[in-house]
Amino acid sequence: MEIKEAISKAKKNDQIAFNFLLDTFWNDVYAFQLKRTENENDAEDITIQTFSKAFDKIKTYKEDYKFKTWLITISKNIHIDLVRKQKKSIRNTSKDNENHYLEIVDDSPTPEDKIITEQNLAKLLRDIKKLKPHYQEVINLRYFQELSYKEISEELKEPMNNVKVKLLRAKKLLAAIITKT
């Protein structure tokens, strides 16, 4: 399959085309993020977010640009957004020109926050149970047991790219369930 053909098929929601594009460009996007973040977990998470966003928005892709460039741009923007969020949690304030200090924002949860979190977790678990069993399993292994993609691949005896795509699909379906309720 050629890239242009895969993009065309992906625009028609062809799962094999999505898989082909993921396999073809995963290493490029991951390597780009690894250089930027210098952290394998962050690079992997941003890469997954990149493909998730790209696949959601694939119909907006214009063939005037190279697909790889389009993916890298999405990836770069996701990383910039994450860095901005991190900077917001630590504010730089000053009393006068000589006295500079960092004020760390207290992010520890209040008792009300803990109750809300427990309620949200219970709702999330109910929503996860609405997914097909193989999607439930991959979400459980990744987010509750905190296994790496390699470990999930070994556990499920499936290729790692299948695990990545299955997890992307599971997250997308779960998001649809959550937004409906």
- Please measure the distance between the N-terminal and C-terminal CA atoms of the chain and give it in whole angstroms: 39
Query: 125 with 84, same domain?
Result: no
Q: Could you tell me if residue 174 is inside a domain? A: yes
3-state secondary structure of 109: coil
The alpha carbon torsion through 155, 156, 159, 161 (nearest 10 deg) reads -100
| Final residue in a domain of this structure, among 59, 92, 125 | 92
pLDDT for the residue numbered 93: 43
Query: How would residue 96 be classed by pLDDT, with cut points 50, 70 and 90?
Result: very low
CATH code at position 163: 1.10.10.10
Number of domains in the chain: 2
Question: Using an 8 Å Cβ cutoff, are 52 and 27 in contact?
Answer: no
Query: 133 with 65, same domain?
Result: no
CATH code at position 28: 1.10.1740.10
Query: How would residue 124 be classed by pLDDT, with cut points 50, 70 and 90?
Result: confident
Q: Could you tell me if residue 99 is inside a domain? A: no
The answer on pLDDT for 8 being more than 90 is yes
The answer on pLDDT for 102 being more than 90 is no
Tokens of 83: 């860095």
Query: 1 with 86, same domain?
Result: yes
| Final residue in a domain of this structure, among 92, 124, 155 | 92
Percent of the chain with pLDDT over 70: 89
Helix axes 15-37, 160-180, angle to 10 degrees: 100
Average model confidence (pLDDT) across the chain: 86
